[in-house]
Structure 1
Amino acid sequence: MKLYYEATLTSERLLTCNSSPKGSVLFESGPRVLGQGFAFRRKQKIERKYRKLLKKERKINSPQDNQFVDTYPEHLKHLYLAEEERLKKQHKRQDDSVLSEEKLNIAVESVTTEEKFKKKTSNQKAKEEYEKIKAERAKKKEEAEKRRQQREEAQRLYKQKKMEAYKILSKKTKKGQPNLNLQMEFLLQKIQQNT
């Protein structure tokens, strides 16, 4: 059977068999057949690593843990078991005494933690700071409002005095001349107020 490459119209390389009827296509020659199967090699490499990993896990999880279990002779087994129970109870008592000491420490710490809880958290501090800033802003706003009202009142009084002075100084006689007697009285009052 003679194999050869045959170029088709679409410029694909197909491997065909001479002896097969009508030169049927056996498989595509593609990069794998041409020796450039990079993705295929990468896939094989990953599969090999995965198999190695599975093998290691099987070795690790093998039943070798049972090697270290104590096996006692039947006629002495009850003695060894009694000794184990005694040791467990002794450890338990030590653990209980340690636990009671820890409970006392926890009780003392709980008192200190209550004091810590009296201290403010960052959220509480932020809220208080916000309230403080809000109060300061409200206070500043009130002060600004008071100053504005005082300024308006002062301007109103100033305009009122100016209008009174203008009325007095702008009065004229029947002939249209300025009334000097009223002007002199106004100046006299002004001098008396200043002294």
Structure 2
Amino acid sequence: MRVPISHQDLIAGNGFKRLARSLQRDWLGEEPIALSSAQDLLARCFGYQDYHHVGKSAGSPEELQNAPPLGTVLSSTVMTVASELLSGGRCGVYNHGELMKLVYEWPFLDLSVYRERYGHADMASISRKILAEQITNFMGSEAPQPERELKLADWELTSRQLQQGIREAAGIQPAGSEEKTDAPRRRRSRDKKILRSDT
């Protein structure tokens, strides 16, 4: 599967670039992801080797006719990002439902190939239809279409909460937090020494 990308999609603020910014903003790894890494990862989600390969392969509007269905692209993106999170060593745990919700909200309709197909449709309504189709295909029967937008249940933990819980259970403090927590202790003990020397 390869998603055709036009030259227009590679202009800052358009299509591919906007999706890469969404990936960077919504990254569920323990450390932030650089924009260049987000662009390379998104390129792999779309069937390219890296962002450079996307730029070399960017085509004309005629080539945009042979695009995979948007549902396939959404599923592929979720699985590729999930794979990168886990096998890339970027995090030990994440909430797959949260990742899916985020990806299904990204502005895929800004890509030229899907803008032609869906016009000015709302990504939320298209995502609901695609999700309903995927559930129906998975279940093998007619499943009801979701009426509401996807959201985390009140009891469900976000990826950040899961990662924090694992760090706490393992007794690991986030990077840089040792310096912050030790500094007041050192200051207090230094102040006590000064007070003792004065008396």
TM over 0.5: no
TM range (shorter): under 0.3
TM-score between the two structures when normalised by the length of structure 2: 0.20
> Which structure shows the higher helix fraction?
1
Q: How does the TM-score come out when normalised to structure 1?
A: 0.20
- Between structure 1 and structure 2, the one with the greater Rg is 1
Higher relative contact order (CA 8 A, sep 6+): 2
